[in-house]
A = this chain, B = another copy of it.
Amino acid sequence: MGVTLKDVAERAGVSTSAVSRAFTEGASVSSKTRAKVERAADALGYSPNALASSLTTGRTKLIGLVSNNFHNPLFLEVFDRFTRGLQDRGLRPLLVNLSDETDPVHSVRMMRQYSVDGAIIASSTLPPSFAEAYRAAGIPVVHSFGRYTTAPQVHVVGIDNVACGRMAGEALITRGYKRVAFMGGPENATSTQDRALGFLGALHEHPEIEVSVSYASAYSFDAGRSEMTDLLKRTPAEAYFCGDDVLSIGALSAAQEAGLSVPDDIGIIGLNDMQMARWQNINLTTIRQPVAEIIGASIDLVIGTVEEPGRHPETRLFPCRVVERGTLRPRP
């Protein structure tokens, strides 16, 4: 079944080294033998075994793509772009689903067993220590959609959550809302904390505006909906910054069901700008994460680190922008 180097060599009447060289960019082979080898290889349908060659070259062209965000619709786009981006550069994604696992030890071992050249942690919820375990194991790694930390031990690519929070705050201020609120995801997620920080920071300069904060139990539709349902029973704010689009849509649903009109009675701004946000029957005003840029930079960084392992950890944060749709009253 498997056609090997040796078969090709035999058929072409050359040594195995010659065949190997014919398939290696920039190796020393005469055009005559290369032609002989190619003819034989075509006839036999040979393609070199990437894993066998990795043994000596030390490169597998395998990149671990590790995530625990398999319920966030944004991540379908994330996987799409990662796989395409890696493939375009001749790399292969080995997908790892962490599910509820928070200890890196299993996945690190797996990465080593399969000798991945590098790894990308694509997760907005994992702590910095996760990626650090990879680095400690000698695996070139970048934490994609991670958050900013001072003196990071690993490459981090993402958005500036504090700045996003501030941007959301300013969006609400500009539109003249007098009672605003932040509805975060789970309080212990580091990204949630940063967004709250930025939001409150922006509002701090406007003491005339009333601010409150609450946390949904998860980054999910149901959590957003039930949180908003609770809030509406008390004295709700005029406008909410929700830490995520799915959460926002849940909140939106609760508001509509309570008979409130959006954005006249209540305003909502989300974060992510996932596919559904632009569906006209949702039409969510939100803050867009530049997903393509984040992913492009992540891939570049991981490749760079594979080539230059000692490379200093870098943090690349990309700016977000408000996408004007229908769940916030227009700017005056």
Contact = CB atoms under 8 A, between A and B. Distances in A.
Interface stretch (A111-119, A197-205, A298-306): A111-119
A235 interface: no
Contacts of A84: 97, 99
A79 interface: yes
A113 B279 contact: no
Interface stretch (A14-22, A68-76, A162-170): A68-76
A55 interface: yes
Contacts of A249: 279, 281
B281 A51 contact: no
Interface in A79-127: 79-80, 83-84, 87, 92-97, 99, 109-110, 112-115
Contacts of A71: 76, 80, 275
A172 to B, nearest CB: 22
Interface stretch (A178-186, A252-260, A263-271): A252-260
Contact of A281 (B77, B79, B113, B252): B252
A73 B73 CA distance: 7
A279 B138 contact: no
Given A73-B76, A249-B279, 16 more contacts: A49-B113, A51-B60, A55-B55, A71-B76, A71-B275, A73-B275, A75-B76, A76-B79, A79-B79, A83-B97, A95-B95, A221-B279, A250-B279, A256-B281, A257-B281, A281-B282
Contacts of A110: 92
A5 to B, nearest CB: 13
Contact of A51 (B48, B51, B79, B282): B51
Contacts of A80: 70-71, 97
A1 B138 contact: yes
Interface in A137-180: 138
Interface string A267-307: 00000000110011110000000000000000000000000
Interface of A: 1-2, 47-52, 54-55, 60, 62, 65, 70-71, 73, 75-77, 79-80, 83-84, 87, 92-97, 99, 109-110, 112-115, 138, 221, 225, 249-250, 252-253, 256-257, 275-276, 279-282
A120 to B, nearest CB: 12
A47 B115 CA distance: 11
B221 A51 contact: no
Given A54-B51, A112-B47, A65 B276 contact: no
B52 A280 contact: no
Contacts of A2: 112
B73 A95 contact: no
Contacts of A257: 280-281
